[in-house]
Chain A
Amino acid sequence: SQQGEEDPQALSIQEGENATMNCSYKTSINNLQWYRQNSGRGLVHLILIRSNEREKHSGRLRVTLDTSKKSSSLLITASRAADTASYFCATVLRAAGNKLTFGGGTRVLVKP
């Protein structure tokens, strides 16, 4: 089944630095969503970007979508120790209802 692939698989940065992670997918999508998962907890929705959008912001988060390259990026600016988590992209295909297909995630460690 179609799946997003995140890159890098792991990322370690200092507090205050920016963190960028990428997601690539294979087929046309309706929308792409980013989720965060803290250790031992469920997933929390961060942001949704539709196929006709190119960029969205939410607080310190910036998401871009390039449908020609079938890729998306998530930028976390001025990272904090609390941003330490795994970040997943999930795609929703056209005519697939609301079915999310997740990638393998990027594990981000923000060192104080």
Chain B
Amino acid sequence: EAGVAQSPRYKIIEKRQSVAFWCNPISGHATLYWYQQILGQGPKLLIQFQNNGVVDDSQLPKDRFSAERLKGVDSTLKIQPAKLEDSAVYLCASSSDRKETQYFGPGTRLLVL
């Protein structure tokens, strides 16, 4: 079974630029999550999708972050405009309806200069 795929793996941008991350969950997983992990900290949930609907986006900075999951499969997370404090690893995870375990992708490491 293929795991969660993310791209790109690394991205360096300047502040005020925009960036987008892509995630392809494990086939058949209805739930998809985006996390932000700042260096030295645990992951923080940004947004949770159930199929193509948003379940929880309470910690998503909506003035600059947006996410979508069209057709209930792939998802993109966008930051526009980026700030220095957005430097972090962005992790995507997915889970099936029948299990509570989340499966994580390798993450995208973002550096904002």
CB-CB under 8 A from B93, the residues of chain A are 43
Q: CB-CB < 8 A to B31: which residues of A?
A: 98
**Interface residue range, chain B:** 20 to 34
CB of B72 within 8 Å of the partner chain:
no
- Residue numbers in A under 8 Å from B55 (CB-CB): 97
Q: Flag whether B45 is at the interface (Cβ < 8 A).
A: yes
Residue from A33, A48, A102 within 8 A of B43 (CB atoms): A102
> Cβ of A31 < 8 Å from any Cβ of B?
yes
Residues on the A chain within 8 Å of B103, using CB: 45
CA distance A101 to B106 in the complex (A): 19
* A30 CB, nearest partner CB in chain B, Å: 8
B45 touches A99 (CB 8 A): yes
Decide if A59 is an interface residue (CB 8 Å cutoff): no
Closest A-chain residue to B56, C-beta based? A99
B41–A100 CB distance below 8 A: no
- Nearest to B109 among chain A residues (CB) is A40
Nearest to A107 among chain B residues (CB) is: B40
- Whether the Cβ atoms of A100 and B102 lie closer than 8 Å is yes
What CA separation (Å) do A88 and B102 show in the bound complex?
13
- Please tell me which one of the listed residues A43, A45, A92 contacts residue B91 in the complex, with CB atoms under 8 A apart: A43
B101 touches A33 (CB 8 A): yes
What per-residue 1/0 map shows which CB atoms of A76-99 lie under 8 Å from chain B? 000000000000101010000111
**Closest Cβ of chain A: how far from B1's Cβ, in Å?**
14
| A-B contact list, 6 entries, CB within 8 Å | A42-B4, A43-B93, A43-B104, A88-B43, A98-B31, A98-B100
Question: Footprint of A on B, CB under 8 Å?
Answer: 4, 31, 33, 40-45, 48, 55-56, 59, 91, 93, 95, 100-107, 109
Name A residues whose Cβ lies closer than 8 Å to a Cβ of B: 1, 3, 31, 33, 35, 40-45, 48, 88, 90, 92, 97-105
